[in-house]
Structure 1
């Protein structure tokens, strides 16, 4: 079964309030088996355009990635991020080769 991924390119406008979102998202992510592969850090856009922050999370399956995002617990946490950041957020199925 292919894994699922959240791929997020974002910009944080209020780092203090964003820290509240970051702390609160740990519970729903753990519930669905999500783990960070990339969480900010240095990046260089070599083609096209991207926001200054990239986050990649891996889930045990594509369905788990979808279910986590759509869960009541994550949707509550998501409210903490609204209005303080801007994201391009994609949920994608991994490749099993």
Structure 2
């Protein structure tokens, strides 16, 4: 099942290290099947506060997403970004094909009703 690395990166001052990070990150993702789904795109904040940028990288599964993040190649370039730009990064599993939120809601409602009895 597809997994995603999602980053919320806060604006920082332009720096050569950030450019080097951007120039080299793709090569660290490729061995793990990673590809940018969102990068440098305009976003519109609908709720809350979201200063900065969102980056989404898709991987074939959670194992490969974690292996990429923990890889020597990525860990080597990671400080190029973290020294100059604050951010939050998560790995999250996607939903399977055919996912239906109504089915999940129905199961949740059933569990809630069972607790009331």
TM-score by length of 2: 0.76
> Which residue of structure 1 aligns with residue 47 of structure 2?
47
**Contact residue 11 and residue 51 of structure 2 kept, 8 A:** no
C-alpha RMSD over aligned residues: 1.2
Query: Is the 1:33–1:59 Cα contact (8 Å) retained in structure 2?
Result: yes
Which string of whole-angstrom CA distances, capped at 9 and with x for unpartnered residues, describes residues 13-59 of structure 1? 13342111111112111111110111022111110122320110100
SS at match of 2:86: strand
Structure with max Cα Rg: 2
Q: How does 1:70-85 map to 2 (within 5 A)?
A: 70-85=70-85
Aligned residues: 96
Q: Whole-Å Cα distance in 2 between the matches of residues 66 and 24 of structure 1?
A: 18
Gaps of 5+ in 1: none
- Structure 2 unaligned residues grouped into runs of 5+: 100-117
Query: RCO higher in 1 or 2 (8 Å CA, sep ≥ 6)?
Result: 1
Q: Is the 8 A contact 1:62 1:94 kept in 2?
A: no
Moved over 4 A (4+): none
